[in-house]
Amino acid sequence: MASLPQLIGMVHLGPLPGAPGFAGSIDAMVDAAVSDAKALVDAGFGGVMVENFGDAPFFADEVPSETLTAMTRAVGSVADAVDVPIGVNVLRNDALGALSVAAATGASMIRVNVLSGTMYTDQGIIQGRGAEVARKRTALGWDGLVLADVFVKHAVPPAGLTLVQAVRDMGERSGADAIVVSGTGTGEAVDLSDARVVRKHASGMPVVIGSGATPDTIADLLEVADAAIVGTSTKAGGVTTNPVDPERAAAVVRASI
């Protein structure tokens, strides 16, 4: 099975074909993704995660075929350009699509926002499809890692569900390989007390920080977690949709050592 990099940098794709903001050039979108991936790897990141961040508003579950086709091209181009583990996240929660893209491109990770249970999100109610994901990865012969969020950002859990119970279910019943803990939204800091709860009840699974890491916080976060996915703080001006700033990315790496 694939190994988990300690620092995973985010490649936020621009709007893909079919999305409201698509600018009409797939080549430009791919070129920007490759440029960001190279900048992250040159800065010292051990892996990158490619995500269709520019496609908002997102489908709750399955995305159109043109989205998966464009993502396959982008992920494949990134994989050709950098020699680090590659991850795929198909927003909002198309885990089966992400698996297909990963299997086609040789990517070694996927991130799934809701793998287990139910979350109330800005796309409506999203239900985990862990059973389908587990069987699909077997059918595809894919031996990568499923990184699954618990109490995912931009969402709230059902009434009465505690973080402890959600983590236990994730660790024991979901088919995940690592548990991701995030802040309340993109770029928002993780509550360290929540991260410690996840660590305590994760059934020995790796814990991944999913948002909000900065040069000022990354060292403390990695004392609790095994890895961190870092996006907004690596971008020019700290704006999620901007290109990667090589110096900001390098500052995260330096602070993590």
Distance in angstroms (rounded) separating the CA atoms of residues 35 and 205? 32
| Domains in the chain: ranges and CATH | 7-256 (3.20.20.70)
CB 154 within 8 A of CB 114: no
Relative to beta strand 118-121, strand 155-156 is antiparallel
Band of residue 228 on the pLDDT scale cut at 50, 70, 90: very high
Task: Tell me the pLDDT tens digit for each residue of 99-144.
Answer: 999 999 999 999 999 999 999 999 999 999 999 999 999 999 999 9
Band of residue 1 on the pLDDT scale cut at 50, 70, 90: confident
| Mean pLDDT confidence for 67-74 | 98
Bridge partners for 156 per DSSP = 120
At 115 the pLDDT is 98
| Mean pLDDT confidence for 155-167 | 97
For 8-42, the DSSP string reads EEEEE--PPTTSTT--S-HHHHHHHHHHHHHHHHH
Give the closest residue to 41 by CA, choosing from 80, 10, 84.
84
Band of residue 236 on the pLDDT scale cut at 50, 70, 90: very high
Q: Is the dihedral of CA 107, 49, 100, 113 positive or negative?
A: positive
